[in-house]
Structure 1
Amino acid sequence: MDPSKVSIFKTYDKPRGQGGSGSFATFMIIGPTCFFLGMLFSAFPYDYPLLWTSIPTPDAYYDQFEAHLKFLHASPPIIPRILNITISIGFTGFFIKLFKPSEANLLFDGASLLLYVVGVVVYITNIVKGLRIVTSGFYGQPESDTEIAIGREDSLRVLAASNTILALVLVGVLVLQAGQWYAERKEQDEVAKYEKQQEEKSAAKGTKNGGHVTRSASKKKQ
């Protein structure tokens, strides 16, 4: 292996003492991400007829979907608190991994944090706001001059589309974390392979030098 490549690998080395904390921080990121993906998957049966089928949706379905959303929004306060705590756990994991970051952290974890923030923004601006509108029942009334008034059916479709967008964003976070793990694993294999080659070259060189010393010593005795 070219020594210049080794210098590239060294730039991706983890800071001292961050191996265990980095693995735990990764778990703190993947855990909440999978948790929210599970919640979105449970809402997929309600979102599917609005977005992924060409069959006309009956009016009774909108009534059922609206009742389901009202029930979710009227859940006990412990439910949104758990969601907020779970979101905070994900941010804590990112902050731990980005403390004294390397180039690999800035590439993978930085992009993952950006997607995570986008997901939180979609959750607050679209999903939470949509639940409030459904609960109030005031469709087609913009809250400000810059907003466009949309009806009941379109509001429910926007809410379903927001769930899909959020799911794609969270999948992107998982893909980036998996990519970081693969890159680090590949780097370790390459460094181990290079070190093994260097040890074999050193051993071969030492054996060769030992052979020269033995021959010169035998000549002096003669």
Structure 2
Amino acid sequence: MRMLRALYNKAVYAGLTKHVYNLFHDVYTGIDKSHKKAMSPVDLNKLFFGKVSSPALIRAQQIARLMYCLCGIPFVDFQHVGADSVKDGSLNYSRRKTGVCVSIPVNKETVALIEKAAVCPSDMNTEEGYRHYQSLLRKFNASLSRLASKLGIKAHVSSYTIRHSWATTALYCHVPVEVISSALGHADIKTTQIYLKGFNAKEIGLANRKVCRCVENK
């Protein structure tokens, strides 16, 4: 609904349709923070290392694992990444969505994987290029769905699932939110917080016991 509202507003500004006052007044267009897209570490392990024989699924698996290892890089940016993006041991790219520059240290093995998993980039400034990107993304997401089904993973899997999963796993590994935000290329830390899956009651209880022990009588 957020996308539909944005398209409608653009159409109004372009003079392609009439403005209707409060058209989306009774429609929820916010972000449901209770809806999380992150996968569990167990399912991630299955997705990245499960045995498959189809060359198409093996390639999708390699790309998914590489995107995760590159701090959950989004597919729209991944398609423009290549060996020439690596300088002085770091992969450098600029987020298309936010313009934020991201630098990720990589080793020779990762560089080799980047070269092997490279996809044909799209010129997003042209209609033909944008259609090409959408086609690549649909095919990749369809391959991920088939891969997940083949490996017995019930959770929904897409390119953005990988990104959300990296962010949430980083949080569980006690990586500061500021670092996670920088690695994701977010312009606002509030966006990062939307990505993150909350801790359950057991984990909160464990953390609380640790904090309380700090002030207990010895």
The two structures have a TM-score, normalised by structure 1, of 0.25
Is the helix fraction higher in 1 or 2? 1
* Greater strand fraction, Structure 1 or Structure 2: 2
Structure with the bigger RCO (C-alpha within 8 Å, sep 6+) is: 1
